[in-house]
Structure 1
Amino acid sequence: GMFQVYRVAGGEAGMRHFMAQFGPCLKWPWTKLMDVPEFNDELVDLIATQSDDQAHGLSIRELEKIRDENLVAIMEALSKQNKGKGWGAGALHKDYTKQLARLAAKKPTASKAVEKAKAENPKKKKKG
């Protein structure tokens, strides 16, 4: 959910850090047009505690890995839409993975600079 996104955005310091960065915007003038809670230490403690509970002890790095795997899964699902051509980010993902597969299938070749250096400085046979 959104709180997990904010927790990850806070980095290793988590939700408290995120709230310290962005919480003060709750005091901006246009927030008076909405029902916005008062930004204070009590609110930060409440949200940070709820965020800790929601994370079930997972580190920020673990949450990032879960997020990334889920995003890739969404793109892979989208890549199968539109009669197999892909849709939106899925089409881009499909084209990108095809390009990577083509590059991986190519046999590595020595660069021209390496070939030139070998031609200019052939290895001498060891005397023995």
Structure 2
Amino acid sequence: MEAGTAVLRLILRGTVDRHPDLQLVLGHWGELLLHAVERADSLSRGLERGVAQVLREDVHITTSGMLTPRLRRHTLELTTVDRILPSGDHPFHRLDPASTAAFLDLLPEPADREKGAHANAETLVAIEETHP
């Protein structure tokens, strides 16, 4: 919850608007901020962009090992698959290949499965793919 509150404060204080290239990462499917986005968005008076818009454009959401279709659907109601990052949460949620593959298979498009598996993370941290 503290991480979600910290991001909310960065947004509401205008920090994100003042630093348009800033990208933020929230774990645990948005650290409860996605669940309160309507309430948080109502606090956005006087900002260039509201909380919901910043979450769509500047925040990446990690799975934290919770490969739950309901949480994925909820996240995709606010943002796009381009903003979802794969992650574990050792020792609480250990990822295994079978459950990870099953989760990615829920994404209908092959390109989206690739994004969810690794491409989003590579883009965020500017990793260039190299082939021998």
Q: Give the helix-richer structure, 1 or 2.
A: 1
- More strand by proportion, 1 or 2? 2
TM range (shorter): under 0.3
Bigger-Rg structure (1/2): 1
